[in-house]
Amino acid sequence: MTARRDPLEALLAEWPVRGPDDATWDERAVEAVARAAGAGETPASLLEPPALAAEPGEPGSAEAPRSLADLARATLEAERREQQRPILDLAAIPAARPAPAPAAPAAAGGPPPARVEAEAQPPAPGAAVRGGGGRWRSSTVLAVALAVGAAGIAIGLGPLASRGPASGGPASGGLASVGAAAGGQVAPPAGGTPAPAAVAVGPQGGEPGVVDPLAPVPAAGPRGAAGGGGAPPGGAGARVAAAPPAPASPGGAPTDRPAGPGEDDPPPLPGGRNAEKGGDLPEKPSSGAVQAALGAVMGAARSCVAGHDQASTVTVAFGSDGRVTSVVVSAGPAAGTPAAACIQAALGRARVEPFARATFSVGATVRPP
């Protein structure tokens, strides 16, 4: 039997779409050149890669650690979350078990704010299948081992980080992460073109049991659950966290700049990863750093709302590693539409320097270009 072409491929390949006849195309070409000669600017966002949300499970996405350093980071994050579990969970730990050295006082200090608890993300590989009394020790050993390994890689591959693929992406993102794990210094993505794979935005549709940390309503229902199972996804809009309007920018006219730090951000976590590294990290990113980080990606976000007649309000949450952990489009015409996923992808590329707090949230307004 001879090899045959994939039937689906055969149907899709070079699928034509009938357009105007050749004479009309010629007229259109002349018209285009004439129009092009007129006044007008081309926004830089049109020349940049389109803002497309990373797919769940995509190589390099939040669900798939990109490198050893990312695995270490995920493990440490899981460790931190374990330490923040409510007392009820701590009570289940056998009393005879020695408390983990650096984290015990913090963990015993009382339950963390509910908002921090609600921040839980899908369990990271390596942290999910831990049980019983040995989970703290084993995960700590694993995290330390991975961090040491990551530091070794950073020393060995550090120079490569600045020579990553021109397009940026998982490889360059991974190397940058290694640098961060080793020295606390986040290197910018090589090539200046962050890949969608590097976007660490909020939970995606179909992820079970994920709670939106920023939604002002209790335990937002499953987002985009209709697209679950084996059925095709219901479109990007299904993954958008459309929360009711949030008090993002109290007073003042909306701008493209961040509206300022959220007052209700949780305090620094004594047992957190950054606290263990020493007190040399700022408690939170400076407003200038946040503005610069969001300003760098705001152009792409604005292109997402091209054609809208009103601005949309978003809340961006940064994790202590400086990455965006969630982007919630809370109000405006983009909320609940595919444009929200586009905004998530665009703003999810923002980065600030690592800081001590567990999270840091800012409100921002995305106005049409």
Of residues 44-73, which lie at the interface with other proteins (CB under 8 A)? 45-55, 57-60
Among 249, 312, 337, 344, binds other proteins (CB under 8 A): 337
| Sign of the C-alpha dihedral computed for residues 356, 359, 363 and 366 taken in this order | positive
Nearest to 347 by CA among 202, 233, 224: 202
Only one of the segments 70-78, 86-94, 131-139, 338-346 lies at the binding site for other proteins (rule: CB under 8 A); that segment is 338-346
- Exposure pattern of 165-186 as b/e (b: 16+ CB <10 Å)? eeebbbbbbbbbbbbbbbebeb
Among 180, 298, 341, 346, binds other proteins (CB under 8 A): 341
Bridge partners (DSSP) of residue 364 are 258, 314
Identity of the residue, 13 or 91, whose beta carbon is nearer to other proteins in the bound complex: 13
Does 4 help bind other proteins (rule: CB under 8 A)? Answer: yes
Identity of the residue, 32 or 128, whose beta carbon is nearer to other proteins in the bound complex: 32
At residue 177's C-alpha, the angle toward residues 212 and 62, to 5°, is 30
Q: How far is the CB of 202 from other proteins (least distance, A)?
A: 15
Identity of the residue, 38 or 218, whose beta carbon is nearer to other proteins in the bound complex: 38
At residue 177's C-alpha, the angle toward residues 173 and 180, to 5°, is 145
State the Cα–Cα distance between residues 364 and 260, nearest whole angstrom.
8
> Is the distance from CB of 313 to CB of 365 less than 8 angstroms?
yes
Does 221 help bind other proteins (rule: CB under 8 A)? Answer: no
Does 338 help bind other proteins (rule: CB under 8 A)? Answer: yes
Does 3 help bind other proteins (rule: CB under 8 A)? Answer: no
Only one of the segments 242-250, 288-296, 297-305, 310-318 lies at the binding site for other proteins (rule: CB under 8 A); that segment is 297-305
Chain residues 172-201 in contact with other proteins, contact rule CB under 8 A: 193-197
Contacts of 342 (CB under 8 A, 6+ apart): 51, 52, 53, 236, 301, 304, 334
Chain residues 305-324 in contact with other proteins, contact rule CB under 8 A: 305-308
Q: How far is the CB of 275 from other proteins (least distance, A)?
A: 35
Tokens representing residue 207 in the block: 């992820």
Size of the site for other proteins (CB under 8 A): 75
Identity of the residue, 80 or 351, whose beta carbon is nearer to other proteins in the bound complex: 351
Question: Could you give the string, one character per residue 103-132, with x where binding to other proteins holds by CB under 8 A and - elsewhere?
Answer: ------------------------------
What number of residues does the chain have?
Answer: 369
Q: How far is the CB of 37 from other proteins (least distance, A)?
A: 6
Among 131, 208, 230, 278, binds other proteins (CB under 8 A): 230
State the Cα–Cα distance between residues 340 and 334, nearest whole angstrom.
5
Identity of the residue, 56 or 354, whose beta carbon is nearer to other proteins in the bound complex: 56
Among 3, 21, 23, 42, binds other proteins (CB under 8 A): 42
Does 228 help bind other proteins (rule: CB under 8 A)? Answer: no
In a 13 Å sphere around the CA of 345, the CA atoms on its Cβ side amount to 25
Starting at the edge strand found earlier in the chain, the sheet holding 324-331 runs 258-261, 359-366, 312-319, 324-331
